[in-house]
């Protein structure tokens, strides 16, 4: 089992939402791009949240669209050993310092976990007394989570409310 590492975070300091995945899969690692597997639904799920067709954009423009929409992106796992891409095969986890990262984002309103592994690992890192932004548990965008896009979309759509201007 090879040691795999996450990517650097994608963010602007005024981000209102931080979406945290677990650890990039093999396709993403090979391409050096978040959510590069063609069957991963992340970009489709985020399209209505940010109000822009992210699927139609090239990768660099997708990242720019997220940042300008005040969405940050990272992973909870900094490194781990894993055969293949399944989260169930992850062992020897070293977490990213998401607590410090969250404190750097002063306008953050929500920390959203993309899937059960991200939520489980992320909550360990945040600790039981986390009193920061709202925590949102999302169904995984992974093709291995087979409930379908239509079943996942309502949970992801709730993120849009955190982007609205508030008095």
Residues making up the chain, counted from first to last: 167
Alpha-carbon torsion, ordered 17, 20, 26, 30, to 10 deg: 40
Greatest alpha-carbon span in the chain: 50
CA distance 79 to 44: 27
Query: 128 in helix, strand or coil?
Result: coil
Q: Helix 42-50 and helix 149-157: axis angle, to 10°?
A: 40
Question: In this structure, what DSSP letter does residue 14 have?
Answer: T
Give the DSSP H or E segment for 31. helix 26-31
Could you list the active site residues? 40
Query: 82 in helix, strand or coil?
Result: coil
The structure tokens listed for 31 are 């391409």
């Amino acid at each position: 089992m090879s040691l795999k590492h996450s990517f650097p975070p994608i963010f602007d300091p005024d981000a209102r939402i931080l979406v945290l995945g677990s650890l990039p899969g093999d396709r993403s690692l090979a391409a050096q791009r978040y959510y590069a597997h063609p069957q991963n639904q992340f970009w489709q799920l985020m399209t209505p949240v940010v109000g822009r067709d992210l699927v139609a954009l090239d990768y660099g423009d997708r990242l720019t669209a997220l940042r300008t929409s005040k969405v940050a992106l990272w992973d909870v796992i900094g490194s781990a050993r894993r055969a293949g891409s399944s989260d169930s095969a992850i062992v020897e986890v070293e977490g990213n310092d998401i607590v410090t990262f969250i404190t750097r984002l002063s306008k953050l309103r929500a920390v959203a976990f993309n899937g059960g592994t991200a939520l489980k690992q992320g909550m360990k890192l945040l600790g039981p007394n986390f009193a920061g932004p709202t925590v949102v548990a999302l169904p995984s965008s992974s093709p291995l989570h087979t409930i379908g896009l239509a079943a996942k979309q309502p949970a992801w759509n709730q993120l849009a409310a955190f982007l609205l201007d508030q008095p």
